[in-house]
């Protein structure tokens, strides 16, 4: 048995999972955590689980994260039961250890958790079917609706300013000035473009600070591959990857989803000439997300959504480039210039969004109640 298999075996046993044998499939799409699907056999029966090792450099308070997840999934589960729906598969179900904890520390840096695998579902890194993307938009909107009455003071802010674009920008600007590994000169052009657009990417946080845009319980990482899709029907089944669930802005959830799913290319496309916002995909997501959010969002929130897409894309430029300038300590990379390519690709997308902002707002208006 390999060292990795021994670690997985030990982690499963901590959560009371019994098995005679198991098979592991490792997923490689995530930027942060290590994720494995584990198929087990026990006394002639089979079952499947998802086992994750949390990156404690990125998430320094994993215990707080798991406490948040327990509260949020419990709230959604109660809502579904009250509506007469079976919550199985519609909300993540994390296993608990005999002491009641939903996590396991193998050592100081190895933090594990296990949840039940949702069968007949898949995830996609890129959106190709507008109908499926509409379903995903509806699911992310429903996620916010299910939590719109959740008391935010019960959530621990495990990642302060996770989506606070001015703070993210300042972090990049400081890294550029410090130039710790001698890469700042490579991103001078991008640095100057971000500086030039400060009046735009600071608007949402200004609106929040002035009380014009309210905080809500938000997902904060609404990438297309954080929705489980039924492999046959194309329906969105369950929202996953709940590590970043904290108080945030509705526009950030909408914006990050658009940034990731309505781009005609992957987010790390090295040829920036190929990068552009696909308005058909934009409308597909908006047509699912906005009608649900119109049931509880304010007029100011709904008016901020298109700006949220541009803002989040600019924010990811800063995050990818900061990581590049600091020596690639945060995001997983596959080659030495991966974060540089990501940052430049996202900048090309943000600038294309600016050209299409009026059209984006027109589309959103069609779906507001």
Distance CA 259, CA 353 (A): 9
Decide if pLDDT at 13 tops 60.
yes
Decide if pLDDT at 299 tops 90.
yes
Decide if pLDDT at 333 tops 70.
yes
Residue 32 confidence (pLDDT): 62
Distance CA 93, CA 27 (A): 19
Distance CA 172, CA 180 (A): 12
Q: In 3D, which of 321, 328, 329, 246 has the Cα closest to residue 57?
A: 329
Distance CA 38, CA 18 (A): 12
CATH number corresponding to 8-119: 3.30.200
Residue 200 confidence (pLDDT): 97
- Chain-centre distance of CA 268, in angstroms? 16
Decide if pLDDT at 10 tops 60.
yes
Residue 28 confidence (pLDDT): 58
Residue 189 confidence (pLDDT): 98
| 332: three-class secondary structure by DSSP | coil
Domain 130-367 superfamily per CATH: Aminoglycoside phosphotransferase (APH), C-terminal lobe (3.90.1200.10)
Show Cβ contacts of residue 363 under 8 Å, excluding neighbours closer than 6 positions: 279, 282, 283, 286
Averaged pLDDT for residues 46-50 = 95
- Average of per-residue pLDDT values in the chain: 93
pLDDT, tens digit, 9 for 90 and up, residues 115-172: 999 999 999 888 889 999 999 999 999 999 999 999 999 999 888 898 999 999 999 9
- Residues 250, 252, 255, 257: what is their CA dihedral angle, to the nearest 10 degrees? -90
Q: Band of the pLDDT at 58, cuts 50, 70, 90?
A: confident
**Domain spans of the chain, in order of start:** 8-119, 130-367
């Amino acid at each position: 048995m390999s060292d990795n298999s021994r670690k997985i075996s030990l982690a499963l046993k901590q959560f009371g999972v019994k098995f005679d044998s198991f098979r592991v499939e490792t997923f490689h799409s995530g930027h942060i955590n290590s994720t494995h699907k584990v198929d087990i056999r026990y006394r002639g029966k089979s079952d499947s689980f998802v086992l994750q090792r949390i990156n404690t450099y990125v998430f320094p308070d994993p215990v707080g994260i798991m406490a948040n997840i327990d509260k949020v999934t419990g709230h959604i589960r109660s809502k579904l039961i009250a509506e007469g729906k079976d919550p199985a598969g519609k909300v993540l179900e994390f296993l608990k250890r005999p002491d009641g904890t939903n996590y396991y520390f193998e050592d100081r840096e190895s933090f594990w958790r296990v949840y039940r695998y949702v069968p007949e579902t898949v995830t996609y890194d890129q959106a190709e079917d507008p109908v499926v993307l509409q379903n995903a938009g509806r699911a992310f909107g429903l996620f916010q609706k299910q939590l719109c009455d959740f008391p935010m003071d019960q959530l621990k802010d495990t990642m302060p300013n996770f989506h606070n674009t001015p703070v993210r920008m300042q972090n990049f600007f400081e890294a550029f000035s410090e130039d710790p590994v001698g890469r700042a000169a490579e991103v001078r052009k991008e640095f100057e473009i971000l500086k030039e657009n400060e009046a735009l990417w600071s608007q949402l946080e200004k609106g929040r600070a002035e009380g014009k845009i309210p905080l809500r319980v938000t997902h904060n990482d609404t990438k297309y591959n954080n929705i489980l899709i039924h492999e046959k029907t194309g329906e969105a089944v369950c929202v996953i990857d709940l590590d970043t669930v904290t108080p945030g802005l509705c526009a950030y959830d909408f914006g990050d989803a658009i940034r990731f799913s309505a781009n005609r290319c992957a987010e790390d496309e090295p040829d920036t000439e190929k990068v552009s916002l696909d308005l058909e995909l934009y409308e597909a997501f908006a047509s699912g997300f906005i009608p649900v959010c119109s049931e509880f969002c304010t007029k100011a929130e709904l008016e901020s959504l298109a700006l949220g897409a541009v803002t989040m894309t600019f924010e990811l430029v800063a995050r990818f480039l900061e990581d590049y300038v600091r020596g690639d300590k945060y995001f997983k990379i596959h080659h030495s210039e991966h974060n540089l390519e990501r940052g430049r690709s996202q900048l090309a997308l943000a600038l294309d969004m600016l050209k299409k902002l009026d059209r984006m707002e027109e589309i959103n208006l069609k779906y507001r109640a």
